[in-house]
Structure 1
Amino acid sequence: MRYATTLGAGLLTLALTGCAGVLTNNATAGQSGDDNTVTLYAVSGPEVTDPILGAFKSKHPGIKVNRIGLPGTGEAFARVRAEKDRPLGDVIWGGSSELYTANADLIAPVELPNDAATVAKDPDHIWHATDLLFQAIAVNTDKFPDAAGHPKTFADLAEPGYAGGKVGFATPKSSGTSYSLLTTMVTLHDWDYVDRFVKNARMLDGSTAMFNMVKDGEVGTSFINEDLGAKWIDAGAKIKLIYPEDGVSGQIGSAGVIKGAKHEAAAKTFVDFLMSKEAQQIMVDEVQRRSSRGDVPAPKGLPPVEQLKRADVDEKWAAEKKDEILAEFDDAVKSAG
């Protein structure tokens, strides 16, 4: 059965306006009796979290943050679910908003002061926006030098005999980036588009391969998270970023207070700080990701968010129907093979 989206019906409200972490042994997580301690389950790596944790330490020296790094949002929520009856963590930070919506029973609904300043808001106050991350089409300009033939839309990538050759694409089972791209494809063009796209796709095991293969010229075209693409271009990589004119895929990076957290007050302080102008300026200047706030401009080399035509993906559908969507994608790949 084919699953379609309901455009404009998502939970997302998008309004466009103008090394301090302390590593803790997993076994001792959350066992401190100190109310001024936050046990943080961090999905993003230290290159994202450490600059902001350093600023938090300076701003709130009385609150100790125990950072526990986890390899992915799925693993983080699996841990929180396993600890549901006796929560050991206080905050989960990282990953896209639809996964927080899908696991809303594990997150405390809390309204925080800085929520009002973010351009993406959860009306149920489960997730709190910490950054915005869009995906662009990446073209290797050595491998695919004819600018006139570069794709302008998702639709271009599904044309028979696509001039750029195979399009690198990570399996969405292992790549959150590709899952966002897949739900965007279905939203914009439905499943018949996916059936055509996978015939032009070179399927890869993960996002890293998808990013690196276009940078290294092993494929002419792929997808990339815009922040990484911009960094590589600054470093001299022969790639070009193209934001699809028919709709741009994106993720709302999020954080949440774990339901039943032992240190709830400190957890709220921490999550609210992540959305503060101070922390968001660090997100732009040092992490080089877009701020979730409307009053902090985009990093150098990235277009203002107002210039992007963002695909209106139904977040509830993407979260609740993930297994069915992945199964349908697998069927498309098998049929194309």
Structure 2
Amino acid sequence: MRKLISLGLALVLFMSLLAACGQAATTEKGAASTPEAPKGSTKLVVYTPNSEDIINTLIPMFEKQTGITVELVSAGTGELIKRLQSEKANPYADVMFGGSKAVLLGNKDLFADYVSPNDKDLLEGHRNDSGFLTPFVSDGSVLLVNKNLVGDIKIESYEDLLNPKLKGKIATADPASSSSAFAQLTNILLAKGGDYTSDKGWNFMGELIKNLNGKIASGSGAVHKSVADGEYIVALTYEDPSASYVKSGGPVKIVYPTEGAVFLDAVSGIVKGSKNEENAKKFMDFIISQPAQDAFGTQLTNRPLRANAKLGTYMKPMSEIKLLQEDNKYVQEHKKEIISRYTDKFTELQK
């Protein structure tokens, strides 16, 4: 029996050797014996400045739907842009998930052209008009009002903020250091003056500054928190955190100024030279797909951009809000001038 096994093993070895020789021969002749191509990559490297809520909701959904494993690098938008610039010759990231449209537009050389087939389902005015940036949510300038403190004071518009009863009771941050405060400044200039240089808009801003009574919050987070906590009656803030308070049953309400609100898009882009470009395209398609957009509108407090996205009761339909369109290019190019003019006016009115 032992001898038979040995003979069998020898025969197997001999046949294996013949097969190997044959494979080597066909390889030399250039025949189709080249090893089978590896299956597509199942990896995606995502750089993101987004909140943990967004990440913890959307990324697991994407991984479950596609089987793709996401590696996350989280940091501020500015820091991530610098990293992308330093890695430009050999990109590590595949996707930049988040960041303001204005900032990413100024770094076109970092991103590859791609328009998702789902782009047609987004709201008009919030589609991929750059050819390389995919808008996925939007955030608007709003007024957050404490219902326990407001009493019979009418707050429906920016104009209402000039009410003497609100003097020193309005929470806001410094536009020079807070992006949401800067967005409110440009929103007000557009709403009250028609553009960013009109004396009419700046004169209104001066009257509003007087009613602030010199009170400026340390940052954007302190602005909405101070109203939710009952320290101030009304805040010049943005929709996302405001909707969070409403969703959790806080004593507040969101007011969309009757003069109009500007909604600024957060966008995503595929990094030029991405090593997992097909997976990156799938990610772009996913974040504006029906399931993802419904999650933004019902599980989170971010404004979805898909036209038929579901909304929680704490979110007002966009069709019921008067919208103003910001000139992103002008604002980005003249930001320093706008901030300087505001600072001069604020300083002058404190004397």
Q: TM-score, normalised by structure 1?
A: 0.82
Partner residue of 2:205 out of 194, 207, 215: 194
8 Å CA contact 2:181–2:237 kept in 1: the answer is: no
For 2:325, the equivalent position in structure 1 comes to: 312
Q: Secondary structure at the match of 2:341?
A: helix
Give CA-to-partner distance per residue, 1:166-208, whole Å, 9 cap, x none. 3211223333222221211121223222222222233122211
Q: Secondary structure at the match of 2:261?
A: coil
For 1:268, the equivalent position in structure 2 comes to: 281
For 1:88, the equivalent position in structure 2 comes to: 92
Q: Secondary structure at the match of 2:304?
A: coil
Task: State how many pairs are aligned.
Answer: 299
Is 1:297 aligned to residue 310 of structure 2?
yes
For 2:128, the equivalent position in structure 1 comes to: 122
Q: Secondary structure at the match of 1:135?
A: strand
Q: Secondary structure at the match of 2:216?
A: strand
For 2:70, the equivalent position in structure 1 comes to: 65
- For 1:77, give the aligned amino acid: I
For 2:102, the equivalent position in structure 1 comes to: 98
Q: CA deviation at 1:310?
A: 0.9
Q: Secondary structure at the match of 2:299?
A: helix
8 Å CA contact 1:165–1:220 kept in 2: the answer is: no
Q: CA deviation at 1:163?
A: 3.0
Partner residue of 1:184 out of 183, 187, 197: 187
Give CA-to-partner distance per residue, 1:71-102, whole Å, 9 cap, x none. x3233223323333332222111233222223
For 1:15, the equivalent position in structure 2 comes to: none
- For 2:246, give the aligned amino acid: I
8 Å CA contact 2:45–2:70 kept in 1: the answer is: yes
For 2:239, the equivalent position in structure 1 comes to: 226
| Structure number with higher relative contact order (C-alpha < 8 Å, ≥ 6 residues apart) | 1
Is 1:139 aligned to residue 157 of structure 2?
no
Q: TM-score, normalised by structure 2?
A: 0.79
Is there any run of 5+ residues in structure 2 with no aligned partner, and where? 1-39, 193-200
Partner residue of 1:214 out of 200, 209, 227: 227
- For 1:153, give the aligned amino acid: S
For 2:249, the equivalent position in structure 1 comes to: 236
8 Å CA contact 1:101–1:319 kept in 2: the answer is: no
Partner residue of 1:257 out of 258, 262, 270: 270
Distance 1:200 1:261, change over 3 A: farther
Q: Secondary structure at the match of 2:343?
A: helix
Q: Secondary structure at the match of 1:121?
A: coil
Is 1:38 aligned to residue 44 of structure 2?
yes
Distance 1:249 1:65, change over 3 A: same
Is there any run of 5+ residues in structure 1 with no aligned partner, and where? 1-33
For 2:220 and 2:132, locate their aligned partners in 1 and report how far apart those are by CA, in whole Å: 27
8 Å CA contact 1:166–1:219 kept in 2: the answer is: yes
Structure 1 or 2: larger helix share?
2
8 Å CA contact 2:93–2:274 kept in 1: the answer is: yes
Give CA-to-partner distance per residue, 1:154-173, whole Å, 9 cap, x none. 2232x273535332112233
For 1:163, the equivalent position in structure 2 comes to: 166
For 2:335, the equivalent position in structure 1 comes to: 322
Q: CA deviation at 1:67?
A: 0.8
- For 2:228, give the aligned amino acid: K
8 Å CA contact 2:138–2:304 kept in 1: the answer is: yes
Distance 1:65 1:151, change over 3 A: same
- For 2:176, give the aligned amino acid: K
Q: Which has the larger radius of gyration?
A: 2
8 Å CA contact 2:184–2:237 kept in 1: the answer is: no
Distance 1:39 1:250, change over 3 A: same
Q: CA deviation at 1:305?
A: 0.4
For 1:83 and 1:321, locate their aligned partners in 2 and report how far apart those are by CA, in whole Å: 29
For 1:263 and 1:173, locate their aligned partners in 2 and report how far apart those are by CA, in whole Å: 38
Q: CA deviation at 1:302?
A: 1.8
Distance 1:182 1:76, change over 3 A: farther
